[in-house]
Amino acid sequence: MAKTNPGRFFEDYTVGEVIRHAVPRTVSGGERALYHALYPARHALYSSDEFARAAGLPSAPLDDLAAFHVVFGKTVPDISLNALANLGYAEGRWLLPVYPGDTLRSESEVIGLKQNSNGKSGVVYVRTRGLNQRDECVMEYVRWVMVRKRDLDAPAPETVIPELNKVIPAEQLVIPAGLHFSNYDFTLAGEPHRWGDYAVGETIDHVDGVTIEEAEHMLATRLWQNTAKVHFDNTARPDGTRLIYGGHVISMARTLSFNGLANAQMIVGLNGGAHANPCLSGLTVRAWSEVLDKADTDAPGVGAIRLRLVATKGGAPFELKGEDGKYLPDVLLDLDYWALMPK
């Protein structure tokens, strides 16, 4: 019996099946420090226990995207080892903050399958949940990937395409218990702009850029125990490049967005996202945002803001797609998320 994991192929998935992913992970101050070393992370709620306490939390949580990466990384060996493409995200919600000392594991339910017309591959939809040591769900999201078939003669499964919200309704966002921005210190947070200062349709060029190094994206991707070989092995791709984990670009863009969105503190919803073009080392990543929507919440002083976050490797800000409706070649990422901001 072969001992190594060959990964699953399209015909290995069944709608309704729940896959328990391996390797639970306890996080500590070490993960927080590394997140600050790997990305220009400056959002105060994740940087300072005192700032988090002033906002009603027991201490600074692990960055929301770090929690996402830990949960996501565990799914790779079961979901995307033989994936041809990561097609999309939907219905992502952060349900509980993750604190140093928490242990995370992941589960994915197969919620859709559709064989491609060429018969060589198919689309697998999974809803992934991150669970802590008390089996509480800390976050969930749907993603769909294109996966190869092992056996081209395997029969096509019944097509099931899940109905997914294009946007999470604001009332379904979960605000952490106790969170408030009643006595929010805008000076310590870094910018004076509050929820009311942002207008739907407004665009923000985050100005700064970071040139990407091989060592850094590999450190980051390993930290999340994502072991997809294309990220690490320069012999795994015909051109000798290492493909950078899409999540590295997400975190880079989000942290660059501090400059103009310093008060978009907590990410609570992921409406969708596309990795528009591959990211390779040596590129300089920049970011721009667009305000897509705003909504009030019941938490004292807390508003919700829906943002488009775009990462680029060049070109002018605020340009996204060409006349053909396709992403421009310099666009790396197009992400749609909800964040919480002081009113």
* Cβ-based nearer residue to its own copies, 196 or 329: 196
* Cβ-based nearer residue to its own copies, 39 or 181: 39
Q: Which residue has the tokens 């101050």?
A: 29
Kindly state whether residue 183 participates in binding its own copies, applying the rule CB under 8 A: no
**Where in 70-89 is the site for its own copies (CB under 8 A)?**
77
Least distance from its own copies to the Cβ atom of residue 207, Å: 5
Kindly state whether residue 194 participates in binding its own copies, applying the rule CB under 8 A: no
Residue 98's contacts (CB-CB under 8 Å, 6 or more residues apart) are 27, 61, 62, 66, 67, 70, 104, 132, 138
Least distance from its own copies to the Cβ atom of residue 158, Å: 27
Least distance from its own copies to the Cβ atom of residue 11, Å: 20
Contact 72, 224 (CB under 8 A): yes
Q: How far apart are CA 293 and CA 40, in angstroms?
A: 26
Contact 212, 244 (CB under 8 A): yes
Residue 164's contacts (CB-CB under 8 Å, 6 or more residues apart) are 90, 91, 142
Contact 261, 307 (CB under 8 A): yes
**Where in 112-131 is the site for its own copies (CB under 8 A)?**
none
Q: Which of 223, 243, 299, 339 binds its own copies (CB under 8 A)?
A: 223
Contact 61, 135 (CB under 8 A): no
Kindly state whether residue 12 participates in binding its own copies, applying the rule CB under 8 A: no
Kindly state whether residue 234 participates in binding its own copies, applying the rule CB under 8 A: yes
* Cβ-based nearer residue to its own copies, 38 or 146: 38
Site string for its own copies, 39-58 (x = CB under 8 A): xxxx-x--xxxxx-------
Kindly state whether residue 278 participates in binding its own copies, applying the rule CB under 8 A: no
Contact 215, 84 (CB under 8 A): no
Q: How many chain residues interact with its own copies (CB under 8 A)?
A: 78
Query: What is the number of helices (H) and of strands (E) in the chain?
Result: 8, 12
Among the listed ranges 84-92, 113-121, 254-262, 316-324, the one in contact with its own copies (CB under 8 A) is: 254-262
Terminal-to-terminal C-alpha distance of the chain:
60
